[in-house]
Amino acid sequence: MIPADIGDYRELARRRLPRFLFDYIDGGSVSEATLKANTSDFARVKLRQRVLRDVSEVKLSTSFFGQAASMPVALAPVGLSGLYARRGEAQAARAAAKAGVPFSLSSLGVCSMEEVSAATGEPIWFQLYVIKDRGFNRAMIERAKASGASALLFTVDLPVAGSRYADIRSGLANPHAWTARFERWKALASRPGWVWDVGVNGRPHDLGNVAEAVGPGASTFAFWDWVGRNFDASITWKDIDFIRETWDGPLVIKGVLDPEDARTAVSAGAEGIVVSNHGGRQLDGCSSSIAALPRIAEAVGGKTTVLLDGGVRSGLDVVRAVASGAKGVLIGRAWAYALAARGGAGVSTMLETFRKEISTTLKLIGQPDIGKVGRDDLDLS
């Protein structure tokens, strides 16, 4: 199959990955209502079709926190990506650098920040989960600084992992139970290509940024236990002070879905927020990101950089998000599927598809500059 849209990359990823990995990417929490709303609410955002305005040239470029980007898109932090393709984070970061967009590295990536930075030579955005051991967090932020990270994404919507039943069924959660082991072995037996390419030749599978804390050489699956024991549910807005003691670059609060929290993030001095429900993987039944965006943008739009993620599956969605008040978007599953389907080359092709769609959409709404897209481009009838 020649992949054209994200649905095609998703299908190729499904065929290539062991089931426990595909379901981990694809799934959401509980009934997956929010996961579905993230995309279905995008489809409801209508743009005005405007005609006979010179759109022979369109401008897609923008900047995030003083850093130029060729379009208003960044790759979201996605844990375990080094299992979707061999050294997956490094491959995806190279594709992002080639496309001129930022790459965010998860705390729970397989490749360490040092490996990813060395692979691209470009600054990355580093995503931070705060764990109970503040000393370890401090050291992690210092490492991010030394690796040349240009922004710190502080993810705040995961005091505890959401209830993701697909991960129980597939054997990813509850790693030590014999039934779970059996499911994983079954999944591996049906994907020999992945076993050879990533399972054997993509080692080590440690989580590079936290390996020391999890225990070097520990099974990748042990990280679930570690997350359960070490993620800190007692964190509050005050902990931003602790982060600031070590980090003086742009701080972006990821996982804001409420205007009041957005205002608090601004008071706490955040240079940016990501309107996000973690891709429908945390609180099921909460608002989709795109539905929450306009009120948040209205509350804090002029005071901080407002980004959005959740449900962005096309360049058309990028323009919808910008028209609804975001400066840009992060994409999560879109790049995870593309990476699993075709490695770094898949991420490159997918990003170029996004670029073309943004350009085509701008031409069809008669708006030659992404920087000028706004509420006026929405059809609110």
Residues annotated as catalytic (active site), given as ranges:
278
Q: Where are the alpha helices (DSSP H) in the chain?
A: 6-16, 19-26, 33-44, 88-99, 113-120, 134-146, 165-170, 178-189, 192-194, 211-214, 223-230, 239-246, 259-267, 289-300, 315-323, 333-364
Contact between 202 and ligand FMN per CB under 6 A: no
Per the CB < 8 A criterion, the answer to whether 373 and 322 are in contact is yes
| 25 contacts ligand FMN (rule: CB under 6 A) | yes
Nearer to ligand FMN, 289 or 304 (CB): 289
In the chain, the largest separation of any two C-alpha atoms, in whole Å, equals 65
Q: At what angle do helices 19-26 and 178-189 cross, to 10 degrees?
A: 100
Cβ 378 to ligand FMN shortest distance, Å: 21
d(CA 164, CA 143): 31
Which of 9-17, 239-247, 309-317, 338-346 is the region at the interface with ligand FMN (rule: CB under 6 A)? 309-317
Size of interface with ligand FMN, in residues (CB under 6 A): 25
- Should residue 164 be labelled a site residue for ligand FMN when binding is judged by CB under 6 A? no
CA-based nearest residue to 153, from 273, 237, 308: 273
Q: Which residues contact 236 (CB under 8 A, 6 or more apart)?
A: none
Task: Please report whether residue 312 would count as binding ligand FMN according to CB under 6 A.
Answer: yes
State the minimum distance, in angstroms, from the CB of residue 110 to ligand FMN.
11
Shorter beta-carbon distance to ligand FMN: residue 76 or 299: 76
CB 25 within 8 A of CB 79: no
Q: Which of these, 380, 354, 288, 337, lies nearest to 70 by C-alpha position?
A: 354
Of 16, 23, 37, 38, the one binding ligand FMN (CB under 6 A) is: 38
Nearer to ligand FMN, 26 or 122 (CB): 26
CB of 322 to ligand FMN, least distance (A): 16
Least distance to ligand FMN, CB of residue 106, Å: 3
- With CB under 6 A as the contact rule, the residue among 79, 102, 171, 249 that binds ligand FMN is 79
Closer CB to ligand FMN, 333 or 367, in the complex: 333
Residue 9 touches ligand FMN, criterion: CB under 6 A? no
- Considering only 275, 316, 336, 347, the residue that binds ligand FMN (CB under 6 A) is 336
Least distance to ligand FMN, CB of residue 288, Å: 10
The DSSP string of 54-109 is --SS-B--EEETTEEESSSEEEPP-TTGGGTTTTHHHHHHHHHHHHT--BEEPTT-
Site membership for ligand FMN, residue 112 (CB under 6 A):
no
- Answer yes or no whether residue 309 interacts with ligand FMN by CB under 6 A: yes
Judged by the rule CB under 6 A, the positions of this chain that interact with ligand FMN are: 24-25, 38, 76-79, 106, 108, 127, 155, 254, 276, 278-279, 281, 309-312, 331-334, 336
